[in-house]
Amino acid sequence: MTGVVYFNHGKESGPWGDKITRLADVARGRGFGVVSLDYQGMDDADARVAKLLASDARAANPLVLVGSSMGSYVAAVASASLQPKGLFLLAPAFYIPVFPIQEPEPHAEFVTLVHGWNDDVIPFENSVRYASKFKTVLHLVDSDHRLSSQLPLIEELFDGFLAQL
């Protein structure tokens, strides 16, 4: 099988929102297949992780996991089992008390985080703390939690991320 990017949306979004749609176009442009799992109505993070682990993600070579907010948490937790080549995490929900694992170790060769300076849902300091601990790439951008105002930049960052795989 060829490389596949698995997208994991946030708690209050859907599988084909603007971010995922645009990043999926970037992935296809690089020759990757794309899958966006539908977690709508699933508020439990562990149930989302189980759904990702039960998918065909293991068959992808290389596998890239992309997550936004709670979806980043899901991707990072699942990376321990799936061992993706890359993790691309947007406004990741790390150090959030309601999640069972506060600091899911990223099990991937390439890890990039993107977080908005003006995020009022998940403090950007959480990503700084995580990136510092695991020595990952971190891009802090002038945006809020949704990162909508920086989609062209995020597309460029994602394209560069895929190019290094």
Query: How far apart (Å, rounded) are the C-alpha atoms in residues 163 and 72?
Result: 21
Q: In this structure, what token pair is assigned to residue 55?
A: 């998918």
Quick check: 31 and 1 in contact, CB under 8 A? no
Q: Which of 6, 13, 58 is nearest to 32 (CA)?
A: 6
pLDDT digit string, tens, across residues 124-155: 999 999 999 999 999 999 999 999 999 999 99
Structural domain count of the chain: 1
- CB atoms under 10 Å from CB of 96, counted, come to 16
Q: In this structure, what token pair is assigned to residue 46?
A: 């562990």
pLDDT digit string, tens, across residues 50-106: 999 999 999 999 999 999 999 999 999 999 999 999 999 999 999 999 999 999 999
Q: Is the pTM of this model over 0.85?
A: yes
- Provide the CATH number for the domain around residue 109: 3.40.50.1820
Quick check: 86 and 109 in contact, CB under 8 A? yes
Domain coverage including residue 77: 4-163
pLDDT of residue 1: 45
pLDDT digit string, tens, across residues 5-53: 999 999 999 999 999 999 999 999 999 999 999 999 999 999 999 999 9
Quick check: 38 and 8 in contact, CB under 8 A? no
